[in-house]
Structure formats: structure tokens, C-alpha cells
């Protein structure tokens, strides 16, 4: 299938497909006699994996590693599980940081409820932040 057909079927752009090819995520496709890219049906499966990996928060480098393992003839399941385990740890850290941020912003907002502009000095923008 041509690049436009793959882009439409995969819900992406031709620019993204060229980028994925340049990054080694999609193998270079065959070319038609006229020089057009001619992707195999497997390219759509690979593109779907790339999108699912991105949705899970994996980096393109991590996705490339998984694809390289698969291309090497091995099942990448254990590697994917390890990546997802690390991703969960990262998400838990983010959630803790966001929770702390919410507490800080809530405290600042509560302190700002009684508005007293006269309490701000001329060299202050706002005493609440």
C-alpha cells in the first residue's frame, strides 16, 4: 500500500510515517517502479504497535528497542513488561508530585480568599504567590 493509504488506515500523517521510517521504527518499504513507497500489510500492524506504545507513555527509543527485539526473532514480552513496570513507577512518582502541588496551590488559594490589596507592599506583585 502507498504511504497515503497507510497513513489513512493507521490514523496518522504521511509526515509521521516518514519520521518513523527515518527513526528506524518502520522498515524502509519497497519502492514501485515510479519510486513511490510500497508498504506491506505488516506495516499497519507495526504502526498500531507504535501508537499503542506511545499511548502507554513509552518513548520512541523504547518502542524501537521492542521492535528490534521482535525483528531479531525473539518475543519482546519480558522487555515490554519491564518497561511497563518502570512506567508505572514513574506514574506513581508523578501522582505524588501532583498531589503535593495540589496541596500547595490549595493552601495558597485559601490564603488568598480574604483580599487585602493594602497588605501588599509597593515592591510586591502579589503576596500570595
Instruction: Dump pLDDT digits (tens) for 63-116.
Output: 999 999 999 999 999 999 999 999 999 999 999 999 999 999 999 998 887 777
Cα 109 to the center of its chain, rounded Å: 32
Q: State the greatest distance between any 2 C-alpha atoms of the chain, in Å, as a whole number.
A: 78
What is the DSSP code (8-state) at residue 29? Answer: P
pTM of the model: 0.79
Least confident span in 2-6, 12-16, 89-93, 108-112: 108-112
Domains and CATH numbers, the chain: 3-112 (1.10.1660.10)
Which residue's C-alpha cell is 499511548?
55
pLDDT tens-digit series, residues 28-60: 999 999 999 999 999 999 999 999 999 999 999
Residue 58, all three cell numbers:
513509552
Whole-number pLDDT of residue 74: 97
Amino acid at each position: 500500500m502507498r504511504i497515503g493509504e497507510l497513513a489513512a488506515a493507521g490514523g496518522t500523517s504521511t509526515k509521521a510515517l516518514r519520521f518513523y521510517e527515518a527513526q528506524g521504527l518502520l522498515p524502509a518499504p519497497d519502492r514501485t517502479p515510479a519510486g513511490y513507497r510500497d508498504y506491506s500489510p505488516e506495516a499497519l500492524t507495526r504502526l498500531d504497535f507504535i501508537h499503542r506504545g506511545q499511548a502507554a507513555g513509552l518513548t520512541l527509543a523504547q518502542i524501537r528497542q521492542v521492535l528490534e527485539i521482535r525483528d531479531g526473532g525473539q518475543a519482546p514480552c519480558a522487555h515490554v513488561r519491564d518497561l511497563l513496570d518502570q512506567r508505572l513507577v514513574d506514574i506513581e512518582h508523578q501522582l505524588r508530585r501532583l498531589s503535593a502541588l495540589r496541596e500547595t496551590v490549595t493552601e495558597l488559594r485559601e490564603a488568598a480568599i480574604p483580599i487585602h490589596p493594602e497588605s501588599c507592599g509597593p515592591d510586591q506583585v502579589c503576596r500570595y504567590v
